[in-house]
Amino acid sequence: MITGTDTVAALEDVRRTYLMGSNEVHALDGVSFDIERGQYWSIMGASGSGKSTLLNLMGCLDRPTTGTYWLAGRDTGSLDDDDLSDLRSTHLGFIFQSYNLIPQLDVLENILVPIYYQDEPAPDAEDRARALADRMGLSDRLDHRPPELSGGQQQRVAISRALVNDPDLILADEATGNLDTQTATEILDLFDELSAEGKTIVFVTHEAHVAERASHILRMRDGRIEEVKVQR
């Protein structure tokens, strides 16, 4: 497969099949596309069309049944569990719909979790974490626990956490799904900012107006790519 020099992630004929009793469910049924550095992809599709499965594969939390997935220049099929964990802690950033912060850790510690699991963390990681928290307007909340924060604040902590390792790819699954319109807009503006700074983002959503902000819109249907629309 030929990929551009600045290809962050590449999927080639990726299939993911679940066995439900004797039935095979093709959650992904031959998916191929490349994501270049700096692109902002929206993934859309009906419920059950395979969006989350795709995102889990791209996040190295799951493996294709067949097909190849390249991330940061490496064929993930040849990597073992520890290597995939390394990829997650150094090259990927996750943002979830339900924030997924760790309740017994304070804000700063939550932001630093990916750093904790790196083999060779940058010495200035903590400064980075503080700077990110500052940017997200969280600097006076660093020693608070997640349950003491509003939904918007929690998602900002999650975004800081996703950025703290300066990832090649940021994966967001319905990241604004739990937020009110006002806060959702703020978060989406933040994603626009990040994209403008050159971050590579994949954003799963079922809302058209959210998808409109992306550079590429990928529409899924029954585990296949129905359409890829390039906006800019």
Among 18, 134, 193, 231, binds ligand ADP (CB under 6 A): 18
Among 21, 82, 181, 198, binds another protein (CB under 8 A): 82
Is there a contact between 89 and 121 (Cβ–Cβ < 8 Å)? no
Give the footprint of ligand ADP on residues 138-157 (CB under 6 A): none
Is there a contact between 215 and 40 (Cβ–Cβ < 8 Å)? yes
CA distances from 163 to 73, 89, 93, 103 (A): 20, 11, 6, 20
Q: Which does 49 bind (CB under 5 to 8 A by kind): ligand ADP, another protein, Mg ion, none?
A: ligand ADP
Give how many residues touch another protein by CB under 8 A: 27
Residue 42's nearest CA partner among 210, 222, 227, 225 is 210
Position 51 contacts ligand ADP (CB under 6 A): yes
Position 33 contacts another protein (CB under 8 A): no
- Which residue blocks in the chain are alpha helix, DSSP H? 51-58, 81-91, 107-116, 125-135, 151-163, 181-196, 208-211
CA neighbours closer than 13 Å in the CB half-sphere of residue 189: 8
In terms of Cβ atoms closer than 10 Å to its own Cβ (0-12, 13-18, 19+), residue 181 is exposed
Among 50, 93, 114, 146, binds ligand ADP (CB under 6 A): 50
* Interatomic CA distance for residues 217 and 208, integer angstroms: 10
Among 7, 49, 110, 154, binds ligand ADP (CB under 6 A): 49
Q: What is the dihedral of CA 191, 59, 47, 177, to 10 degrees?
A: -30
Rank residues 37 and 221 by Cβ distance to ligand ADP and give the closer one.
221
Give how many residues touch ligand ADP by CB under 6 A: 12
**String marking each residue 136-155 x if it binds another protein according to CB under 8 A:** --------------------
Rank residues 17 and 85 by Cβ distance to another protein and give the closer one.
85
Q: Which does 163 bind (CB under 5 to 8 A by kind): another protein, ligand ADP, Mg ion, none?
A: none
Is there a contact between 32 and 42 (Cβ–Cβ < 8 Å)? no
Give the footprint of Mg ion on residues 43-62 (CB under 5 A): 52
Rank residues 133 and 220 by Cβ distance to Mg ion and give the closer one.
220
Among 4, 18, 24, 116, binds another protein (CB under 8 A): 116
- Binding interface with Mg ion (CB under 5 A): 52
**Binding residues for ligand ADP, per CB under 6 A?**
18, 20, 25, 27, 45, 47-53
